[in-house]
Every structure is written in structure tokens, then in C-alpha cells.
Chains A and B, each alone.
Chain A
């Protein structure tokens, strides 16, 4: 398989647990960037191609794909410990659970403050409006919200990079605002630890290895499924006078993270697409010049039902959407009601997320392509390899069975042309070759390299 001498350039949050992986090919077939191969009986991910969308994790039937996260105890390295939460966390609980319960739940496990990412939504809207007025932008603009989509464009659609709005995503702006507000109360910056409760793998990578910015404003990541388990019993046992869920403040959109969340305030020239394969279809059309010129804004989200369908979100995505839509119409927090009411922690502690957070510091740097589709960096060599692929394709059965350890006949042919696979990995060819009296021993050797075994006795 691809043994690389150089260290992988791209960091990923998804890992394969080799003890659990049985090389069943499900992840390999579903991967939208063709990044997975089966070698030695296990799935293996090409780090250059992976965009951390998490499709492999969804398709895995053996719990063999895991998502890295920071040790929860790390929050205690800080005196002031902020849980930066996306609205979909609140969407795990229905309207009968109070905001207070959820916040108190987070405090009971060790956080000192809670801040909702959606509080930055109005600010991003302002930034987007301003951005659209710039003369150097290319329409349709593509929202920078979803990190898996940004990475997908870098890998598969480099020519479309210039459509991405160079504005940091809400998560970063929310984190910076939160830190700023806490510093205003006299807390030393080094005492503040901001931990994002992530609904997906892509956001973890966006924090650990940001694209278009030097360092993320977030100090650590805790996976949402873990937090859910930690606070679930607290929230479900704390129904007494906690009050209902409320919106964090005026001018915030708790449905911002859902499909259509960014389009809702826009005119009909905006379009929302969710699900990574659907996103690929639309990006293909855009690249071909097939999209209606009247479409000026594309909200593209890798997960089905956007963040509600994130791979680390514990609840059903449609119920999550429903819960958030219900919450969106609730009245915002009444700041003046009762200063001791912790239910309003969110808005009482933090001032309005205002446009002083809009300066240059919130612009993303130019995004670089990381195109990994080419057969060779050198055009002439790539052309030669493509001719080789063409020849190989004439003998392959084109049934995409995946038994060779590559997701399709085409990708096996390309792997062979790249020199990282052998023709006799094709099971179909092997059977016909054996019939014709080919050297079975060589074939066995090759199969063993893919599967690690030929039968259970070995």
C-alpha cells in the first residue's frame, strides 16, 4: 500500500481502530474523496485525501472508527472554564428541559461558564453583508461555515476556492467574543480555557489544524456524545422550576446551524444544500458553469440536516431540528428578570456580540488548494499514467466489487498506474487466470498482501 516517507501534511480527527476493523469495505465505498483502501485486512486512510466528513464512521458497522478528542480533565488546567456550545447540543433536549438545566448540567461537570455559538450569528451576518460589497469577490459566494466543505473544495474543487467567503466561521468569532468579555471582567487571559463541544470530526480538525488562520481561538475540544452522557442524568432529573428553554438573546438564530439557517434571512438568490454527496453534485454544476447566475450565495453543509446530523450528535437529527425550531420562536432571555436566575447565565454574563469583533482579525487568509486527484504532478507523466489506466480498464470487469481493496475498478487501475497496487489484486482476473493455469502461488501472495489472510486457517 501507500507507504509514505514524509509525514502526512494534513491532520485528521478520525482514526481506525485496527483491533475492531475487519476490512469489510463499507467505509471505502462511501468515502466521497476516494481516500480509503483495504490493506492487510484493515481499512487505511490516505491523509492527503481525507476531509474529515465522517461518512466512514457512519457507514462502519463495527465501531472501528473513532474520533480523537482532548482529555476531559484538561479543562481543569484553567481557572475559568468555558463550554462553547453549538445550538444542536440544546437541540438534544425538548422544550420541557430548561436552558438552566442544561447550563447547570455543564457546570456540574466542571465548567464555570457556558456560551452559545449562535450568539455570534448576527455578527457573521453583518460581516457577510460587508463582504459581499467587496469588488474582488466571486459569486456565488460559498459560506465558510462547514469545515468539511472547505476541505472538500480544497481537495476536489480547487478552482472554486475563490468563491469561499473569507470570514472566520461562527465558532471562532464566538470564542474570541467570549474571551474578550471575560477579560473585561478582570480575568487574566491565561486563566481562560475555552472548550468547544463538537458535533463532528471536521470541526475538531478545524480547531486543531485551522485552514486560513494561524491559530484557533479555542483551547480544546470535547466531543458532544461525551458531554451528552455526562449531563444527561442531571438534565433529566432537574425538571423542577428550571423554566423552559429560551433563546440566548435578541438577534440570534439558534437555527443557524441547521440547513437553511444562513439562507433564511437572505433573498431567494441563496440556496442551501446538505449531505456531502449532494454538495459534490452542486459544486460539480458550479464548476461546469451550469448553475443559474442568479444564485449568489451557497450554504453548503457536509452532513444530512447540517450539524443536527453531525456524527457526534447523539439524538435523532430530525428531532434535533424540531427542538431547535421550537426554541427559535421562544422569547429571548429577559435580562432584567432576576439577576440570580442562572437560567439566564448566557446573556447576563456576556454583552452583545457587537461589530467591534469585525476587524481584519476575523478575516480568513487566502485558502490554498490541496488537490489530490492528479495521477502525477508532472503533466506528461500524468498523461502517460492515464494511458496506462485506460489499458488496465480494458481488462478489469468494471463491477466495482471492492474485493481488490480499492473502491472501484477505476481506482484500482489508477492505483496500479501510480505504482501502489498490482493487477492481480483483482479477484475477477484471478479466477479467470487460475482457470487458465496461471501461477496460483503468486496470486495468493498478492491477495495476502491485501487481506492479510486467504482463508480462516491461515
Chain B
């Protein structure tokens, strides 16, 4: 079953709507609370990344009995050096974003730690597509 959400860059007020919604869905599906927590934490980080860094993006969650696959596809600046972005504490977030309590770095490593598989594809100047995978079976 598929769920789609749209995220606007800079809309911090609504950051977390998609992860909040997915959480409700997963609770209704009786997903193990440990898995639920990992999905929500990883998705929230990734969702905030779109809000903080990109112009806009779409989130698609595909839930099947075997796995949960969530694709976050954004139009934005892209990540020039994915290896660097994966390092703890590295951040390119603007001062404005940091003042709002976001952008402390560690977004991607934290996402990775919570997923069973993380794929990142990025084109500088165009956007970033990240795929979060959680195994259920």
C-alpha cells in the first residue's frame, strides 16, 4: 500500500507531518514497536533535511508485508560529497536553520543507523533521492 506526501522547503511548521502520519499508519498495522521507532526517527530526520536544505520534495512510502520502503525525492542543491555528508557532525545547514534547532549535522548517519538499508543518489544543482529500507519479514 502506498502513501504519498509533499514537503515544502523552509516550511518548518509542518516538518514532521509525513513521519507523524506514517507513524499512525504503522501503529494501525500493528508493526513491531522497535521497527516503528526506527522508521519514525529516520523518516523524521530525512523529512527535516528536505525542509532545511531543499526547495521541495515528495515522500512515497510503500508498505508491504515484507518491507517498508520510503523514497524521499527532492528538488534542491544536491549533496556534493556524500561521503563527507555521512560523517558525524558535518553540516552545511545555514545559521538560520541552526537557530531553529535543526541542522546539527548527524542527520544522515542517524538515518543510516536506523535503517536496514540506505541508498543516496544526488545530482548537484538538481536534487537528492534517498531510499530508506526497513525489513519486516
Which residues from chain A sit less than 8 Å from chain B, CB to CB?
156, 158-159, 284, 287-290, 292, 369, 371, 373-380, 382-383, 386-387, 390, 414
Partner of A288, one of B23, B27, B29, B33: B23
Known: A288-B23, A289-B45, A379-B136. A369 touches B33 (CB 8 A): yes
Which residues from chain B sit less than 8 Å from chain A, CB to CB?
1, 16, 19-20, 23, 25, 27-31, 33-34, 36-37, 40-41, 44-45, 63-65, 101, 136
The 4 closest A-B pairs by CB, nearest first: A374-B30, A159-B33, A289-B41, A373-B27
Distance (whole angstroms) from the CB of A458 to the closest CB of chain B: 37
Known: A159-B34, A379-B136. A290 touches B44 (CB 8 A): yes
22 contacts between A and B (CB under 8 A): A156-B27, A159-B33, A284-B20, A287-B37, A288-B16, A288-B23, A288-B40, A289-B40, A289-B41, A289-B44, A292-B101, A371-B27, A375-B30, A376-B30, A378-B30, A379-B31, A379-B136, A382-B30, A383-B1, A383-B63, A383-B64, A387-B1
Hey, which chain B residues are within 8 Å of A375, CB to CB? 28-30
Hey, which chain B residues are within 8 Å of A373, CB to CB? 27-28, 30
Contact check, B27 vs A374: say whether CB atoms are below 8 A apart.
Answer: yes
Hey, which chain B residues are within 8 Å of A284, CB to CB? 20, 23
Name which residue of chain A comes closest to B45, CB basis.
A289
Distance (whole angstroms) from the CB of B21 to the closest CB of chain A: 11
Hey, which chain A residues are within 8 Å of B136, CB to CB? 379
Known: A159-B33, A387-B1. A380 touches B65 (CB 8 A): yes
Distance (whole angstroms) from the CB of B54 to the closest CB of chain A: 19
Contact check, B30 vs A287: say whether CB atoms are below 8 A apart.
Answer: no
In the assembled complex, the Cα of A69 lies from the Cα of B22 at a distance in Å of 41
Distance (whole angstroms) from the CB of B136 to the closest CB of chain A: 7
Contact check, B29 vs A379: say whether CB atoms are below 8 A apart.
Answer: yes
The CB with the most chain B CB atoms within 10 A, among A284, A289, A290, A374, is that of: A289
In the assembled complex, the Cα of A288 lies from the Cα of B19 at a distance in Å of 7
Distance (whole angstroms) from the CB of A219 to the closest CB of chain B: 36
Distance (whole angstroms) from the CB of A95 to the closest CB of chain B: 43
Contact check, A374 vs B29: say whether CB atoms are below 8 A apart.
Answer: yes
Hey, which chain A residues are within 8 Å of B41, CB to CB? 288-289
